[in-house]
Amino acid sequence: QRKQDILQGSIKSRSRAHDIITKMLASLGDPYTRFLSSSDFSKMSKYDMTGIGLNLREIPDDNGSLRLVVLGLILDGPAHSAGVRQGDELLSVNGIDIRGKSAFDVSSMLQGPKETFVTIKVKHDSCGPVESMKVQRQMAARTPIFYRLEKRDNENSSVGYIHIKEFNAVAKKDLVSALKRLQNSGASYFVLDLRDNLGGLVQAGIEIAKLFLNKGDTVIYTTGRDRQVQNTIVADSGPLVTTPVMVLVNNRTASASEIVASALHDNCKAVLVGERTFGK
């Protein structure tokens, strides 16, 4: 009904349309949904990542102004290595007070050329100390895949353990390499560790899930009231590995990680072990 009411009016400029869209999306109360204008999008696509590896969430305070809180971090990324933790409040970037600014505006401030530095001030937790730190920007996607072969005591079998820290541009390529090396080394089954993996590129997660599924298995589907936008993504080839798989999850397994975990579980390709996931 709100949409119909808005469309009945006259929208005479692009900037006015952008304002209306922003307000409509804000009414959803969804921290993961936001509108980007074409100029904002071009800024974001200039770099491979937000600069120092963190996601920001806008939270209104008691006065109605916005606070920016760290919603997620790339494990061992620049911000995480400098001491930023989930739940910290970002106070300033390069000495500029960022209170009242949008998460996107501040993310743009954090971006910059490869290996340059940005100084940020954060407040740890809700009532912790305030700390200023100098963080080096990172542009190249580092491998998120760490793996090892573990021999089982008193048995001839070996376990291929693979920890995926995030789903980035090189995750699938490096996972394929790890799986092949572990198989060639005699791995009888695999443990896929997705604990504390907050996600990353959704498409990378989808492509990784396909590595374990049979051709035609459903990875994920979207549904809604409009049948025209319903979509189902299926695996288009056979699995890379057919040995048993165990997936480790915890309450910080989120987003693309939950897609991978549920796709493997629901298609009977893996057993889930751990805690209830984040629920994004």
Residue 255 annotated among the catalytic residues of the structure: yes
Catalytic residue, from 37, 92, 102, 280: name it: 280
Pairing of strands 271-274, 245-249: parallel
Question: Any bridge partners for residue 57, and if so which?
Answer: 69
Task: Report the distance separating Cα 117 and Cα 166, nearest Å.
Answer: 23
Amino acid at 120: I
Sign of torsion, CA 126 132 137 143? negative
Residue 262 annotated among the catalytic residues of the structure: no
The closest alpha carbon to 104, from 56, 32, 42, belongs to: 56
Say which residue the tokens 């009411």 belong to: 5
Catalytic residue, from 107, 255, 257, 262: name it: 255
Number of residues written out for the chain: 280
User: Which backbone phi and psi does 123 adopt, to 5 degrees?
Assistant: -110, 115
Distances (CA, A) of 13 to 5, 17, 18, 23: 18, 6, 9, 16
Q: At what angle do helices 256-266 and 202-210 cross, to 10 degrees?
A: 20
CB atoms within 10 A of CB 53: 25
Reduced to 3 states, what is the DSSP secondary structure of residue 38? helix
Among all residues, which ones are annotated catalytic? 255, 280
